[in-house]
Amino acid sequence: MNIKNILYLLIIFSLFLFLFGIIVYIISLIYSSIKGSPYVPTSKKLLKKFFGEIKFKKNSFFIELGSGDGRILRYIAKYYQINGLGVDINPILVWFSKVYSWLENVNDRVKFERMDAMNVDLTKADYIYIFLMPKFIKKLRLFRIPKTTFSPSTAIWTVLLFSCLII
């Protein structure tokens, strides 16, 4: 086999790998939608505007349900001394979150887990952030959970796709 053939094989293999990656990613996005909410990342501009103005308590604990690529937790871990847990149903997004948090050197403060938002223990959260479909948020029944389930000062934000509610 000469160098030209090896090069062709390498190109075909890389293209195949690239296509395979795209197909897996698309399937994971469909899976996210079926399980509760499609993946729609918060824009970086909105993220800075929204979270840049909040005075977080030092060393508090932040939980994000449906954390996507982890951009919110990574942002607040970088700019505030906050610890956090991000859960998402989509394993590919959880993997990206872990890689990015490692690259940004915040992996000692924020953890990401593949988990259904319905099964998360919220008792230790000081802040909860949710950006999911309204129908799924209703299913979570967060606002019907007795207050004692959260720590007394837990703040919950939900972004109902186009509106934002702060409690």
Ligand X SMILES: C[S@@+](CC[C@H](N)C(=O)[O-])C[C@H]1O[C@@H](n2cnc3c(N)ncnc32)[C@H](O)[C@@H]1O
User: Considering only residues 2-41, where is the footprint of ligand X by CB under 6 A?
Assistant: 32, 35-37, 39-41
Beta strands per DSSP E along the chain: 61-65, 83-88, 110-114, 127-130, 155-160, 163-166
Closer residue to ligand X in complex, CB, 7/139: 139
Interatomic CA distance for residues 28 and 55, integer angstroms = 35
Q: Considering beta carbons, is residue 87 or 142 the nearer one to ligand X?
A: 87
Shortest reach from residue 34's CB to ligand X, in Å: 8
Tell me which residues in 97-126 interact with ligand X (CB under 6 A): 116-117
Minimum CB distance to ligand X smaller for 1 or for 66: 66
Residue 128 engages ligand X in binding (rule: CB under 6 A): no
Contact letters for ligand X, residues 50-89 (x by CB under 6 A): --------------x-xxx--xx--------------xxx
Q: Three-class SS of residue 145?
A: coil
DSSP assignment of 49-91, as one string?
Answer: HHHTT--PPTT-EEEEES-TTSHHHHHHHHHS--EEEEEES-H
Instruction: Provide the minimum distance between the beta carbon of 117 and ligand X in the complex, in angstroms, as a whole number.
Output: 4
Burial of 24-63, coded b for 16+ CB within 10 Å and e otherwise, reads: eeeebeeebeebbbebeebeeeebeebbeeeebeeebbbb
* # chain residues binding ligand X, by CB under 6 A: 23
- What DSSP character marks residue 124? T
Backbone φ, ψ for residue 134 (5° rounding) = -50, -40
Q: Which of 77, 85, 110, 132 binds ligand X (CB under 6 A)?
A: 132
C-beta closer to ligand X: residue 37 or 154: 37
Residues that bind ligand X (CB under 6 A): 32, 35-37, 39-42, 64, 66-68, 71-72, 87-90, 93, 116-117, 131-132
